[in-house]
C-alpha cells in the first residue's frame, strides 16, 4: 500500500510521525511518500520539499507568498498522482493541504482522501466543513466533541485521541536536575513556533516579565531553526533567559516549571500534560486580527478551557495582548494558590477527555485510516 502524507508545520509533523509508526505496526508493507518535517523524515520519508516553506499563518502573512504556495500545491498534487497512491492523507494546515486534496480529487475522483485534525468549525467559519466534504472522505479528530460536526457535513469521522496524552515526559530526576542547574526558579515563556509569532510576541512577553519576581529565570523552549531569532528577540528581556531546543531539555523544562506564559495553540495541551498552570496570550497582524474577531463563535480559544468546559486559563488576545495585564495575571498565578489549584483541576479533566490512559493516538489514527481506505 502506498500513501501520500502532507504535513505543513511542526505539530503536523509530529502527528504524521506517530501515524507512520501506527500504520507500520498494523501493516509493515505500507510505503509513505509526501511532505513532512524532521520527525517524519527520521521515519524514512523523503520529503518532496522542506516543510518549513509551508509554515506561514495569518492572512497578511500568506498574501505575499501566494505565488510560491500555489506552485508548491501543484507540485504536491502532481507527485501524489504520479505515484498512483492508494490514499492521500493531509495533516492539519488546511489552507494548503485541502487545496492539494481538491486538485488531486479533480484528476482522480476515486482516490480515498483523509484529513487528520478536524477544522475548528465550532470556533469560526462553520462552512469549512461543507467545503472540506467536497474533497475529503474521512476525518481523524483530535478533540472528542468534533465528530458530529464532520458527520453532519457528510464525511466519516473518528475521534482518535490527542497525541499529547502519549507524548514522552521527563522523569522527576531529570526535572530536578534541570531545575537545579538554573540560577533561579523557572518560568516557561513560549512565544510561538513560527518566526512571525516570535517576532510579534517576544517583545510583549518580555515586557510582561517585569511583573514577576527577580529570582525567576525565563526558560524558553524553541525549535532548533528558531534559536538564533529567539536569542536576538530575548536579549533585552528583564529576567535571566535560558533557551532550550533539544527534546530532552524541552521535556525537562516543562516538567520543572511552576507556571508558563504561552502563545495560544496546542502548547497549552503540552503544558496541561505536565500539570503546568498558564497564562495564554496571542496577537497577529492587524488585518488578520480584525477579520478573525468578526468570525469567532466562541468566547475562548484556549483548548484547555474548551475541552474542560471551564474558563480556568486566563487569555489575552488581539488588542488585549498587552504586557501590563499579561504580567499581572502571571504574577497572580505565581502567588495565589487557589488559582493554581483551579487550573490543575481543569488540566486533569482535559487530559482524561483527550484519551489519557487509552490506546496511543497514533495507533488509533492508523486503525481508523486503514478502515477508511478499506471502505
Mind listing the pLDDT tens digit for each residue in 101-112? 999 999 999 999
Cα(142)–Cα(164) distance, rounded to whole angstroms?
10
Burial of 254 (0-12, 13-18, 19+ CB in 10 A): buried
pLDDT digits (tens, 9 = 90+) for 129-142: 999 999 999 999 99
What average pLDDT does this structure show over 344-369? 96
pLDDT in tens, 126-175: 888 999 999 999 999 999 999 999 999 999 999 999 989 998 999 999 99
pLDDT band of residue 224 (cuts 50, 70, 90) is very high
What is the structure's pLDDT at 65?
63
Higher pLDDT residue, 60 or 217?
Answer: 217
Q: What pLDDT is recorded for position 296?
A: 72
More confident residue, 253 or 298: 253
Q: What is the mean pLDDT of residues 355-365?
A: 94
**Cα separations in angstroms, 119 against 75, 125, 218, 258, 319:** 24, 9, 33, 32, 25
Please tell me the distance from the alpha carbon of residue 22 to that of residue 27, in angstroms, as a whole number.
8
State residue 253's pLDDT score: 97
Q: How does residue 30 score in pLDDT terms, banded at 50, 70 and 90? A: very high
List all residues 6 or more positions away from 218 whose beta carbon is below 8 Å from its beta carbon: 187, 189, 209, 234, 237, 239, 240, 241, 242
Cell of 40: 517524519
What is the pTM assigned to this prediction? 0.81
pLDDT at 291: 66
Q: What are phi and psi of 141, to 5 degrees?
A: -100, 140
Place of cell 499529547: 164
Kindly indicate the confidence band of residue 285, based on its pLDDT and cuts at 50, 70 and 90. Answer: confident
**The CA-based dihedral angle spanning residues 16, 107, 120, 372, taken in that order and rounded to the nearest 10 degrees:** -60
User: For the chain, which domains are there?
Assistant: 2-161+357-374 (3.40.50.2000), 172-353 (3.40.50.2000)
Q: How many residues does the chain have?
A: 375
Residue 58 pLDDT > 70: no
Confidence at 256, pLDDT banded by 50, 70, 90: very high
pLDDT exceeds 70 at position 14: yes
> What integer pLDDT is reported at residue 23 of this predicted model?
97
Which whole number is the average pLDDT over 65-89?
A: 91
Q: Is the pLDDT of residue 181 over 60?
A: yes
CA distances from 353 to 255, 257, 311, 369 (A): 21, 24, 16, 22
Q: Is the pLDDT of residue 286 over 90?
A: no
Pick from 43-47, 55-59, 114-118, 297-301: least confident: 55-59
Least confident of 120-129, 215-224, 232-241: 120-129
Count other Cβ atoms within 10 Å, centred on residue 4: 27
DSSP secondary structure of 215-242: TEEEEEE--GGGHHHHHHHHTT-SSEEE
Query: What tens digit of pLDDT does each residue of 305-326 get?
Result: 999 999 999 999 999 999 999 9
pLDDT reported for residue 295: 66
Lowest mean pLDDT among 89-98, 160-169, 237-246, 289-298: 289-298
List the one residue out of 4, 9, 74 whose CA is nearest residue 45.
4
Across 235-247, average pLDDT: 96
pLDDT at 22 over 90: yes
Indicate the average pLDDT of the chain.
Answer: 92
Distance set, CA 51 to CA 23, 141, 366, 375 (Å)? 21, 22, 22, 30
Contact present, 87 and 369 (Cβ < 8 Å): yes
Q: By C-alpha distance, which of 19, 10, 290 is closest to 140?
A: 19
Map residue 115 onto helix, strand or coil.
strand
Q: Reduced to 3 states, what is the DSSP secondary structure of residue 260?
A: strand
Amino acid at each position: 500500500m502506498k500513501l501520500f502524507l502532507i504535513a505543513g508545520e511542526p505539530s503536523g509533523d509530529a502527528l504524521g510521525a506517530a501515524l507512520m509508526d501506527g500504520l507500520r505496526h498494523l501493516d509493515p508493507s505500507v510505503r509513505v511518500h509526501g511532505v513532512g518535517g524532521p520527525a517524519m523524515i527520521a521515519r524514512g520519508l523523503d520529503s518532496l520539499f522542506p516543510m518549513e516553506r509551508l509554515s506561514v499563518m495569518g492572512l497578511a502573512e500568506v498574501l505575499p507568498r501566494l505565488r510560491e504556495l500555489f506552485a508548491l500545491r501543484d507540485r504536491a498534487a502532481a507527485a501524489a498522482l504520479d505515484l498512483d497512491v492508494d490514499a492521500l492523507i493531509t495533516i492539519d494546515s488546511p489552507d494548503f493541504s485541502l487545496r492539494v486534496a481538491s486538485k488531486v480529487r479533480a484528476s482522480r475522483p476515486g482516490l480515498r482522501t483523509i484529513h487528520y485534525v478536524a477544522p475548528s468549525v465550532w470556533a469560526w467559519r462553520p462552512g469549512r466543513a461543507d467545503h472540506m466534504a467536497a474533497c475529503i472522505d474521512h476525518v481523524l479528530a483530535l478533540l472528542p466533541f468534533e465528530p458530529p460536526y464532520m458527520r453532519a457535513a457528510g464525511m466519516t469521522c473518528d475521534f482518535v485521541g490527542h497525541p499529547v496524552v502519549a507524548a514522552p515526559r521527563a522523569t522527576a530526576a531529570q526535572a530536578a536536575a534541570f531545575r537545579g542547574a538554573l540560577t533561579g526558579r523557572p518560568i516557561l515563556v513560549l512565544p510561538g513556533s513560527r518566526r512571525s509569532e516570535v517576532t510579534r510576541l517576544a517583545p510583549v512577553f518580555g515586557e510582561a516579565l517585569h511583573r514577576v519576581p527577580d529570582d525567576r529565570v525565563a526558560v524558553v523552549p524553541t525549535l532548533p531553526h528558531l534559536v538564533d531569532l529567539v536569542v536576538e528577540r530575548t536579549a533585552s528581556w528583564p529576567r535571566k533567559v535560558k533557551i532550550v531546543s533539544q527534546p530532552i531539555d524541552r521535556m525537562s523544562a516543562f516538567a520543572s516549571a511552576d507556571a508558563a506564559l504561552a502563545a495560544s495553540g496546542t502548547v497549552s495541551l503540552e503544558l496541561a500534560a505536565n500539570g503546568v498552570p498558564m497564562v495564554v496570550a496571542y496577537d497577529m497582524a492587524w488585518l488578520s486580527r480584525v477579520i478573525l474577531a468578526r468570525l469567532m463563535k466562541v468566547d475562548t480559544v484556549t483548548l484547555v478551557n474548551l475541552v474542560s468546559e471551564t474558563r480556568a486559563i486566563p487569555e489575552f488576545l488581539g488588542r488585549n495582548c498587552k504586557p501590563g495585564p499579561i504580567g499581572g495575571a502571571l504574577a497572580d498565578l505565581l502567588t495565589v494558590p487557589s488559582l493554581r489549584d483551579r487550573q490543575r483541576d481543569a488540566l486533569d479533566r482535559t487530559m482524561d477527555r483527550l484519551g489519557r490512559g487509552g490506546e496511543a493516538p497514533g495507533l488509533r489514527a492508523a486503525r481508523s485510516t486503514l478502515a477508511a481506505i478499506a471502505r
